[in-house]
């Protein structure tokens, strides 16, 4: 149960409804997921986050599916249940099949293992890895 009540589409005040409409139009869906219905208690944050998501997740130098899988990788690392479910669903909708999901999880798991070995042993960065900026 969320710590604040959710603002449903039917009861949304105009400034919230405008964001909801843009979410549904952008995604081609007729519903809004709980994340936004919780943020809607604070319309300025709702709008800010939605504008951020639109900008960051828009087509760019990376493939949209790759971006969604990076989102899943971060969510698994942070142990965020909501985010793991919602972004895995999004990645599947964008074409991630089971073999790709399994491989994504395998990389995430291994990276978390080697991250802790590097941190635990306090390994110094090789000069060859330092950027020549």
Within 67-106, the residues that bind a second copy by CB under 8 A are 67, 69-89, 97-106
Q: For residue 34, what are the contacts with CB-CB under 8 A and spacing of at least 6?
A: 2, 6, 82
End-to-end CA distance of the chain: 48
Q: Which of positions 2-21 make contact with a second copy (CB under 8 A)?
A: 2-6
For the CB of residue 14, give the shortest distance to a second copy in the complex, in Å.
Answer: 19
For the CB of residue 38, give the shortest distance to a second copy in the complex, in Å.
Answer: 5
Tell me the two tokens of residue 87.
């972004």
Question: Smaller CB distance to a second copy: residue 14 or 79?
Answer: 79
Q: Which of positions 32-71 make contact with a second copy (CB under 8 A)?
A: 33-35, 38-39, 41-42, 44-45, 48-49, 52-53, 55-57, 60-62, 66-67, 69-71
What string of DSSP letters covers 34-76? HHHHHHTTSHHHHHHHHHHHHHHHSSSSS-HHHHHHHHHHHHH
For the CB of residue 18, give the shortest distance to a second copy in the complex, in Å.
Answer: 17
């Amino acid at each position: 149960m969320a710590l604040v009540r959710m603002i449903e589409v039917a009861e949304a005040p105009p400034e919230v409804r405008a964001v909801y409409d843009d979410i549904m139009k952008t995604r081609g869906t007729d519903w809004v997921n709980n994340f936004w219905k919780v943020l809607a208690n604070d319309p300025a944050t709702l709008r800010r986050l939605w504008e951020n998501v639109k900008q960051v997740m828009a087509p760019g130098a990376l493939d949209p599916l790759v971006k969604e899988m990076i989102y899943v990788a971060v969510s698994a690392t942070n142990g965020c249940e909501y985010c793991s479910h919602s972004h895995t669903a999004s990645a599947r909708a964008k074409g991630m099949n089971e073999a790709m999901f399994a491989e994504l999880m395998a990389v995430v798991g291994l990276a978390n293992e080697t991250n802790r070995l590097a941190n635990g042993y306090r390994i110094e960065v090789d000069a060859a890895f330092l950027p020549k900026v």
